[in-house]
Amino acid sequence: MFRLLSLLFEFFLQYFYKNKKSEMSFSTNKEEEIKKVCEALNKVHDGSSSTQTRNTAQAYLESIKTGNIDKCIAISKYFDTQPDTIYQHFAYHCLDHLCTIRWKDLTTKQQEALQQLTLEMFRKCKQPEHAKKFSSFAKRQLCKVIVSIAVRCWPKNWESLIPELFKYVGQDSVSGIKNRKFFYYYYFFGQEISDANS
């Protein structure tokens, strides 16, 4: 039993330092990492790229989605603010992957960070100075990500979701409920809840 506990302790110690090292490395080389992601995205979407170049770039982007979770969240947060749609799309693909495929791997802190990040994106989507930057794809993906998190957390672990959505879309009066984005969200929310319970 003592040997087993020692092995478990050693495993978790190595896991902690491995992840800690990865987080520190990203914090130190954030600009370099983001530059590499930009280059990879440009190669994937460049029609003149060779198949090998495109495949190598795609493999690197997949490693971002499936690698260090904090790094993936940070990169998604950064690219969501960029005007170029290919960067926005990658941000939402990363968030969708975290919510639908890797949710159980996230710590409570990371899950809460995703909740707040998606609500902040939703808030910006409503603001006139940011609204034009959001493509139809980005809006659909944002709805999908919020719904994916809500199905897993709401209402028990995300009680503030509905009040915050009302706040972000400016629901100061009953007439405000006519906001299209708000109904768009609820349409997907209803569909996902229905699918989850069927």
Tens-level pLDDT at each residue, the chain (198 residues): 444 444 443 543 343 344 444 443 455 578 888 999 999 999 999 999 999 999 999 999 999 999 999 999 999 998 887 878 899 899 999 999 999 999 999 999 999 999 999 888 888 776 666 666 777 777 778 888 888 888 888 778 888 887 887 776 655 444 444 455 555 555 555 555 454 444
How much is the pLDDT for 25? 45
The single-letter code of the amino acid at 176 is: G
How much is the pLDDT for 41? 96
How much is the pLDDT for 12? 37
- The whole-angstrom separation of Cα 75 and Cα 117 is 12
- The whole-angstrom separation of Cα 55 and Cα 107 is 31
Q: Are 145 and 95 in contact (CB under 8 A)?
A: yes
Domain extent at residue 24: 2-197
Report the domain count for the chain: 1
Q: Are 126 and 170 in contact (CB under 8 A)?
A: yes
- pTM (two decimals): 0.70
Closest to 195 (Cα-Cα) out of 153, 158, 148, 155: 148
